[in-house]
DNA sequence: ACATAATTAAAACGCGCGTTTGAAATGAGT
DNA sequence: ACTCATTTCAAACGCGCGTTTTAATTATGT
């Protein structure tokens, strides 16, 4: 069963599911072990304790997400500004709505945001800052010189917010529109919308400040 | 101590703080009781069990937020479209960054989003739907006829996302810019930015679909 | 084949949790 | 002042958790 995976690998897979669904504290070693078809003591034998297992899951989640959906993954040859924003939004949305293990990162991040563990600092620096810098450059290009740093931050937040909110509104989507998934087409359409909407926003900000 | 509040009232206040910080499951009756300067058995005597206390806290949080910061609370006499969006954003941001008990609602909502309890359905219907309908009307006015329902939903999501993301990115704000608070001025500036940015986005969508 | 290491397994430990209990203290009505 | 309901209190209960322990089983190297 579970192919030819080792117990250690099965534990990481199972732990990923449970940590993503319940968060670090609410996840129990008993449930993880059962789902991995391993003994209750297997976690402590292979990882030392629950926290080290959590670290291993995070490490795997980060690798999967960043290689499966890089932030500049769908840029055309000579990209215009909107292409950058589309690529950013498209990658983030894919990470959020992926139903494979690539979606693990977003779900773990959601849990960390409401109940942070020590892992968050490391993740923020390692995984989140690079894509924030990517977006920072884009917004900087979009706006003319001598626009305040604060305004740039706000515009970045507007774009990030549009994307990331999908990661946090999942339970509401289930309640309002009945499903929490998105097809490939829906994802691309949504990313396109965010790119268009944001380009309009950026133009408007520039127009207001430099009429 | 604690003025002339009854034990029951002190418990609700203390429980609000603890539930907001830790979520339902991670919050312990021991900590709540201690903070309320009440006996460990007081919760069960006054509320029956932990869940009923949680309901009482939610009820109070909802009342406080919606009366302190109504969604149409700062509309001028003859509002233009941007005024509506500003009023919406301003109210949401105030709820999020309030350092009084009015901020309780947003914090509890954050916890519910990552680890939903039975309370969420009720809250979504009672508290979230009205303000979503408010925004729906605004976006509907902003866009011309025969624009798809889906596009309206996307635009609403763009605006909501910009506001609500502040409620979920708190731990990152602490990590990146060192603080998680906002002054009254910062809140208003941010709400103004969201209104401007969103007006630009809406105009762009309309321009693209009806050139 | 055998000795040794690596892994799995079942049971138990210690602890913190929500809850219950039964008695003590307090308050209100007459 | 006395009664009786209400509230507070300390202690204990039952349970589930992460972890440890000890033994059994399997794999590995020579």
pLDDT of residue A146: 76
Domain assignment of residue B203, yes or no = yes
The whole-chain average pLDDT of chain A stands at 94
| pLDDT tens digits, A109-144 | 999 999 999 999 999 999 999 999 999 999 999 997
Q: Quickly give A6 CA vs C1 C1' distance in Å.
A: 28
Within an 8 Å CB–CB cutoff, is residue A201 touching chain B?
Answer: yes
Q: Which of A115, A158, A163 sits opposite B194 (nearest CB)?
A: A158
Question: A87 and A154 share a domain?
Answer: yes
Assess B155–A contact: CB distance below 8 Å, yes or no.
Answer: yes
My answer on whether B32 and B82 are in the same domain is no
Binned at pLDDT 50, 70 and 90, residue B211 comes out as low
* Cα–Cα distances in angstroms (integers) from residue B21 to residues A108, B13, B32, B112, B197, in the given order: 18, 13, 12, 12, 32
Is the per-residue pLDDT at B35 higher than 90?
yes
Kindly state whether residues B103 and B26 are assigned to the same domain.
no
Q: How confident is the model at residue A211 (pLDDT cuts 50, 70, 90)?
A: low
B169: chain A residues, CB-CB within 8 Å? 113, 160, 164
B58 CA from C16 C1′ (Å): 26
The shortest C-alpha distance from B198 to chain A (Å) reads 6
Question: What are the tokens at A122?
Answer: 């490391």
- pLDDT band, very low/low/confident/very high, at A1 (cuts 50, 70, 90): very low
Give how far Cα B112 sits from Cα of B29, B58, B74, B108, B119, Å. 19, 11, 28, 6, 8
Question: B-contacting residues of A 82-141, CB under 8 Å?
Answer: 110-116, 120-121, 124, 128
Total number of residues shown for chain A: 211
Kindly state whether residues B44 and B76 are assigned to the same domain.
Answer: no
Is B101 found in the same domain as B19? no
Asked whether residue B182 falls in the same domain as residue B86, the answer is: yes
Whether the CB of B199 is below 8 Å from some CB of chain A: the reply is yes
- Closest residue of chain A to B123, computed from CA coordinates: A172
B121 domain residue, yes or no: yes
The CA–C1' separation of B197 and D5, in angstroms, is 62
Nucleotide nearest to B25 (CA to C1'): C17
Q: Does residue B64 belong to any structural domain of this protein?
A: no
pLDDT surpassing 50 at residue B151? yes
Q: pLDDT, tens digit, for every residue of B94-112?
A: 999 999 999 999 999 999 9
pLDDT of residue B164: 98
Q: What is the pLDDT averaged over residues B21-50?
A: 97
Shared domain check, A143 and A43: no
Looking at chain B, the whole-number percentage of residues with pLDDT higher than 90 is 91
Contact flag A154-B190 (C-beta cutoff 8 Å) = yes
Residue A19 token pair = 């940590």
Q: For the domain that residue B44 is a member of, what is the CATH number? A: 1.10.10.60
Q: Which residues touch strand C (CB under 7 A)?
A: A 6-7, 38-42, 45-46; B 27-30, 40-41, 43-44, 49-51
B121 and B157, same domain (yes or no): yes
Residues in reach of strand D, judged by a CB distance below 7 angstroms, are A 27-31, 40-41, 43-44, 49-51; B 6-7, 38-42, 45-46
Q: Are residues B34 and B124 in the same domain?
A: no
Would residue B3 count as lying in a domain? yes
* Under 8 Å between Cβ of A138 and A84: yes
| Domain-embedded: residue B54 | no
- Once rounded to an integer, what is the mean pLDDT over residues B80-98? 98
Q: From CA B133, how far away is CA B155, in angstroms rounded?
A: 13
- By residue range, what is the domain housing residue A21? 1-48
What DSSP string describes A61-122? HHHHHHHHS-TTTT--SS--HHHHHHHHHHHHHHHHH--SGGGHHHHHHHHHHHS--THHHH
Query: Which residues touch A163 (CB under 8 Å, ≥6 apart)?
Result: A88, A89, A92, A93, A96, A194, B161
Whether residues B75 and B26 share a domain: the answer is no
Examine the pLDDT at B46 and tell me if it is beyond 80. yes
Contact B170 A113 (CB under 8 A): yes
Which CATH number fits the domain that encloses residue B176? 1.10.357.10
Domain tally, chain A:
2
pLDDT score, position A77? 94
Low-confidence winner among A3-7, A78-82, A204-208, B186-190 (lowest mean pLDDT): A3-7
* B145 and B180 inside one domain: yes
Residue B62 belongs to a domain: no
Q: Are residues A82 and A149 in the same domain?
A: yes
Contact between chains at A203 and B208 (C-beta distance less than 8 A): no
The answer to whether B143 and B155 have CB atoms below 8 angstroms apart is yes
Residues belonging to chain B: 211
Residue A118: CB atoms within 10 A of its CB come to 9
Restricting to B residues 16-45, those with a Cβ less than 8 Å away from any Cβ of A are: 22-23, 25-26
Residue A198 has pLDDT above 80, yes or no: yes
């Amino acid at each position: 069963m579970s192919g030819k995976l080792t117990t250690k690998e099965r534990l990481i897979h199972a732990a990923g599911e449970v940590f993503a669904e319940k968060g670090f504290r609410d996840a129990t070693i008993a449930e993880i072990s059962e789902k991995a078809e391993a003994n209750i003591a297997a976690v402590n034998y292979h990882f030392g304790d629950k926290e080290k297992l959590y670290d291993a899951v995070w490490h795997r989640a980060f690798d999967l997400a960043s290689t499966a959906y890089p932030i500049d993954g769908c840029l055309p040859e000579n990209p215009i500004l909107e292409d950058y924003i589309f690529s950013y939004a498209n990658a983030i949305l894919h990470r959020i709505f992926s139903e494979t293990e690539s979606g693990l990162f977003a779900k773990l991040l959601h849990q960390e945001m409401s109940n942070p563990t020590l892992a968050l600092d490391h993740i923020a620096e390692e995984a989140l800052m690079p894509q924030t810098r990517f977006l920072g450059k884009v917004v900087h290009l979009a706006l003319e010189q001598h626009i305040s740093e604060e305004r740039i931050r706000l515009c970045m937040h507007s774009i990030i917010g549009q994307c990331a909110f999908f990661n946090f509104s999942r339970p509401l989507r289930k309640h309002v529109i009945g499903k929490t998934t998105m097809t490939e087409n829906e994802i691309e359409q949504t990313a396109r919308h965010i790119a268009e909407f944001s380009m309009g926003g950026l133009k408007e900000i520039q127009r207001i400040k430099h009429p």
